[in-house]
């Protein structure tokens, strides 16, 4: 029986913390930053947390047990 592969795009985008939460980097921070407010850009620096409604799906992509 072959091994089941982890979703490659998911393993690049998500990290599991020590407490079991899943973090990701916020979007829209790459370019066209002049029109975005400083407050908005500062908020995008922080890591985002995956909501509990999507957590099972992300764990399945990463082939982790929930």
Q: For residues 40 and 17, is the Cβ–Cβ distance under 8 A? A: no
Cα-Cα end-to-end distance for the chain: 24
pLDDT in tens, 34-66: 999 999 999 999 999 999 999 999 999 999 986
What's the pTM value of the predicted model, to 2 decimals? Answer: 0.84
- Whether residue 32 is contained in a domain is answered as yes
- Whether residue 66 is contained in a domain is answered as no
* 22-25: strand order across its sheet: 14-16, 22-25, 47-49
Q: Which residues span the domain enclosing 48?
A: 8-61
Write down the residue that tokens 């407050």 correspond to.
39
Counted domains in the chain: 1
- Whether residue 2 is contained in a domain is answered as no
- Whether residue 12 is contained in a domain is answered as yes
Question: How far apart are the C-alpha atoms of 46 and 15, rounded to whole Å?
Answer: 14
Can you give the C-alpha Rg of the chain in angstroms?
15
- Whether residue 3 is contained in a domain is answered as no
- Whether residue 38 is contained in a domain is answered as yes
Query: Which CATH number is 16's domain given?
Result: 4.10.410.60
């Amino acid at each position: 029986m072959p091994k089941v592969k982890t979703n490659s795009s998911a393993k690049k985008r998500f990290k599991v913390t020590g407490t079991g939460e899943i973090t990701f980097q916020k979007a829209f921070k790459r370019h066209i930053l002049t029109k975005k407010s400083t407050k908005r850009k500062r908020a995008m620096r922080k890591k985002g947390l995956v909501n509990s409604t999507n957590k099972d799906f992300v764990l399945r992509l990463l082939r982790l047990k929930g």
